[in-house]
Structure formats: C-alpha cells, structure tokens
Amino acid sequence: MVGMAGLWNWSAAGLIEPERVRNALAGALEAPVVALPSGVPGALLCDVYHVGGDFPTLIDVFLAPGNVAEATIASAVAVRLGAALLLPDDSLDPSRYVLAEPNGSLGVVHVDEEETDDGVERRRARPCAAEGPRPGELPARNAPSCACV
C-alpha cells in the first residue's frame, strides 16, 4: 500500500467483537484488514481489545492509509458497527476527541479518562461548545484552550 499514515487509535461504544471491527474497517477501506500478527502482505493490521468505561472497545489500526482522512473512515466504520467511535482530534487538549456517530455525523466532544492496567477507560462524553478547529482542521496559533469542560 502507498501513502501510509501510521497509527489510528479509536474507542468504540459497547463491547464489539474484534472480527466485526476488522470486517467493518475492511469494508470502509475496501482493503484487507487482519489481526496481529499477520503475514498478509499489504494488509492493514488491526488490534482490538476491551477495557471498562463508556467506550470499552479499543481499536488500534497499524499501517493506516495516508490518502484518506481518518475521520472519514472512522465515520464509515461507526455506521457499519452501529456504534459511536472516539478518535483523537488535532487540538492540544488531551480530553478533546472527535465523535463519529452511528449515523455518520462527526462532532467534537470532551471525555473523562482514567488510566488502568488494561488501558485507558473513557467516560462521560459531552459536546465541546468552544469555538475552535473542527475535525481535520489545525488549531489557530496561540488559540486559547477549550474552557467548556
């Protein structure tokens, strides 16, 4: 594959089986997606595991393509799964995420995070009311931090 972006890290609402996640991702990207480890040349690698919280299914996509927007693919996967997905936004606020809804819409939210031995648990997603960059936009230089938490 050409144009690899690297790593995508998402959290899905609900406990979703790894094979279902990989199938949804493969459908959205129209490319093979396999579990770790894999010997399939050109396939995206996808690790799925579970923690607690409101978004307990953690999804790590390795060798993600660089020629498509992450938020676009997350939106398509959320529709296929029928579950909301959280993905990091481009701001410097560590509690701010893009929320891809099961209906395909994208919004900006804040979540509470707690580090556990199993991974990061995310809870209490709430809309971000501050004016600022939308999904895929870069934050303005010297922009104030979001105060809507």
pLDDT at 40: 72
Q: H or E element: which one contains 74?
A: helix 70-81
Helix, strand, coil percentages, rounded to 5, for the chain: 15, 35, 50
Each residue of 23-35: pLDDT tens digit? 999 999 998 898 8
Domain count, the chain: 1
CB count in 10 Å sphere of residue 72: 15
When pLDDT is averaged across residues 60-76 and rounded to a whole number, the result is 91
> Does some domain include residue 137?
no
139 near 130, Cβ under 8 Å?
no
Of residues 124 and 142, which shows the higher confidence score?
Answer: 124
Domain containing 112 equals 4-127
Q: Is residue 53 within 8 Å of residue 116, measured between CB atoms? A: no
Would residue 134 count as lying in a domain?
A: no
Determine, yes or no, domain membership for 115.
Answer: yes
Residue 139: inside a domain? no
Note whether residue 30 is domain-resident.
Answer: yes
Q: What pLDDT, in 10s, does the model give residues 78-130?
A: 999 999 999 999 888 888 999 999 999 999 999 999 999 998 999 999 998 86
Mean pLDDT over each residue of the chain, to the nearest integer: 85
